[in-house]
Structure 1
Amino acid sequence: MRTMEMEVKKAQQGDLDAFVRLMRNLESQLYGLAKSILRHDEDCADAMQETMLKAYKSLTSLRKPEFFKTWMIRILINECNQLLRNRKRTVVMNELPEASNPATSYYGDYQKIDLEEAVNSLDETLRIVIHLFYYQDLPIKQISEVLNISKGAVKGRLHRARGILADWMKNRKEEDVSYEPI
């Protein structure tokens, strides 16, 4: 039996240390997923806290310990979506629009953009699938279960996202080419 499954069973029997070990083991992966959805560290911390609390309270309802990671990801995505819904209802008064930020408008397109930024610029549905597949190493079947969509939809989103990222990389390479006189 795998270590994670044993830890889950211990945690389900009330071993708080086992639960803490499980959370520490998944913390960076879950945070990365939250960051790809929410983009703000404060919101990520809130989502992580709520996810851990809900998981702890309902751990005994998890029937198959081998699906603990998938279960945690599903709770986190639901928490992130709830925060996004709440954010839409909140009006921020002191936030400047992007164009009025002098650093952004001065540097514009000249700032270095890496692949992670390209992934973060994807539409949320594509970004989540890319994150789960490449960063979390989840198979397509588990991604379809976590997101409650068909395997075909997962494959389609992966295909679209890869195409967008490939175009982005191609365009970046063309921009980097410079012609200097000999």
Structure 2
Amino acid sequence: MDPTDLVNQAIQGDRDAFIRLIREIENSLYNTAKSMLRKEEDVADAIQETILKAYKSMHTLREPQYFKTWMFRILINECNTMLSRRSLSTSYAEVPAKQEVSSPYDEVDMREAVDRLEESKRIVIVLHYFEDLTLRQVADTLNISESAVKMRLSRARQELYQKFKNFREVKLHVKPI
């Protein structure tokens, strides 16, 4: 079945069609929320709220082909709301992404490196490369211009390149015992 037909059925109130649509993108929603919120319980809450809000306002979706973009916009808004509610004593930037790499021999994982980026860079990388949204869809989802998306992607790629380049140089200059 054409995904647009499924969206149209969901818009007309077909609950099963809505559930099928959500199942198709649930991993993408999870990965995006996880990259923003990091805490499993917050991720679950954000996804639950996103699905509930989407279900209640499904009839407002004007262009069925943008369902996925629409869902990501709702999710990102929900994640941002949750982040703003977090305690003032712990800013988002101070929350460690994962345990620090303890030695140059540790594996460097691309997802972990992306998770360590500043949020504005991280979210464009996640949406564009991990979730396969077009530049236009990323721009629409984040309510920014396509040129801003391109700039953030460029800066994020440069930062990732430098991290991996530095890691590789350290590994090449350290002789095994």
Q: Under a length normalisation based on structure 1, what TM-score does the superposition of the two structures give?
A: 0.86
AA aligned to 1:114 is: D
1:125 aligns with 2:124: no
Residues 138-157 of structure 1 correspond to what in structure 2 (within 5 A)?
A: 138-157=133-152
Corresponding residue SS for 1:18: helix
Uncovered stretches (5+) of structure 2, i.e. residues with no partner:
none
Deviations 1:67-96 (A, max 9, x none): 1000000000000001101113477xxxxx
Q: Which residue of 2 aligns with 1:179?
A: 175
Distance 1:9 1:167, change over 3 A: same
- Aligned-pair distance for 1:37? 0.6
Aligned residues with identical type, % of pairs: 49
Q: Which residue of 2 aligns with 1:8?
A: 7
Could you tell which deviates more after superposition, 123-132 or 2-11? Answer: 2-11
Greater fraction helix: 1
Q: Under a length normalisation based on structure 2, what TM-score does the superposition of the two structures give?
A: 0.88
Q: Which residue of 1 aligns with 2:82?
A: 83
1:108 aligns with 2:107: no
Q: Which residue of 2 aligns with 1:62?
A: 61
AA aligned to 2:62 is: R
Distance 1:89 1:179, change over 3 A: closer
Q: Which residue of 2 aligns with 1:135?
A: 130
Q: CA RMSD in A?
A: 2.1
1:170 aligns with 2:165: yes
Q: Tell me the distance in 2 between the aligned counterparts of 1:149 and 1:36.
A: 19
- Aligned-pair distance for 1:112? 3.1
What number of residue pairs does the alignment pair up?
A: 169
Corresponding residue SS for 1:137: coil
Q: Which residue of 2 aligns with 1:51?
A: 50
Corresponding residue SS for 1:122: coil
Uncovered stretches (5+) of structure 1, i.e. residues with no partner:
92-96, 99-103
Q: Which residue of 2 aligns with 1:101?
A: none
Q: Which residue of 2 aligns with 1:41?
A: 40
Q: Tell me the distance in 1 between the aligned counterparts of 2:62 and 2:176.
A: 65
AA aligned to 1:51 is: T
- Aligned-pair distance for 1:12? 1.4
Q: Tell me the distance in 1 between the aligned counterparts of 2:47 and 2:11.
A: 20
Distance 1:75 1:90, change over 3 A: farther
